[in-house]
Amino acid sequence: MREADDNRSNTAPGHVAIIMDGNGRWAKARGLPRTAGHKKGVDAVRRTVEAARELGIGTLTIFSFSSENWRRPEEEISDLMGLLRFYLRSEVAELHRAGIRLRVIGDRNRLSEDINRLIDNAEGLTRDNRVMTLVVALSYGSRLEIVHAARRLAEEVAAGRLSPGAIDEDALSARLYTADIPDPDLIIRTSGEKRISNFLLWQAAYAELVFVDTLWPDFTKRDLEAAIEEFHRRERRFGATTAGSR
């Protein structure tokens, strides 16, 4: 049993998702504008993508901008969109060289035309890469995602392409933004907050949740490794029971 446990502890989760939180508090603690925290957050994204690749994680999802974030001050949103443009222009070539596929999920109707064009180009360039998939949740809200999937099902039923009796979990899952992405095994939230904030609600049904105190700009490979170590200490039963358990 010990050997089996050791082998398991050396295996990275197939899909790790991260709620990147704490940029604003990081900046405030240093007397800096929130923009400085967001810029440092981009550095943490770069470190974490490289760490995930080195650790053999198959899919890494990062929650970069939520549907609720559109309520933030216009100036802050403008700064965040500027950082997004910078990332898409400066980092995609390196992702491609590293064999990383980029996928963006979320409501892209609210994004500007030039950002959508950059996303299309990045996804097209990296489409066939197989080392790792980096999923960026952008303008993303899980409740809205589920509403969109339900609306698609309703439209297909109304058009006669789908029987109401054929609607099941698989049918709804196939109409989510993440239809081609495995469900997360591990969800990490930084900054000490203990909630998932409308992130991957359907997909996270059996994910392990790990909350860490580190603010996102300070997140390192060691923090990622520690969260994975905690993941391996959990017994995942997926609703079933084992001998001696309740």
Rounded CA-CA distance 129/6 in Å is 30
Binding site for Mg(2+): which residues? 21, 208
Binding site: which residues? 21-26, 34, 38, 66-68, 70, 72, 189, 195-197, 208
Rounded CA-CA distance 79/144 in Å is 25
Rounded CA-CA distance 240/33 in Å is 48
Structure tokens at 130: 């197989």
Tell me the catalytic residues: 21, 69
Binding site for substrate: which residues? 22-26, 34, 38, 66-68, 70, 72, 189, 195-197
Rounded CA-CA distance 123/176 in Å is 18
With CA atoms as reference, report the closest residue to 186 among 55, 54, 89, 59. 59
Q: Contact at 8 Å (CB) between 137 and 63?
A: yes
Q: What radius of gyration, in Å, describes the C-alpha atoms of the chain?
A: 19
With CA atoms as reference, report the closest residue to 224 among 27, 41, 53. 53
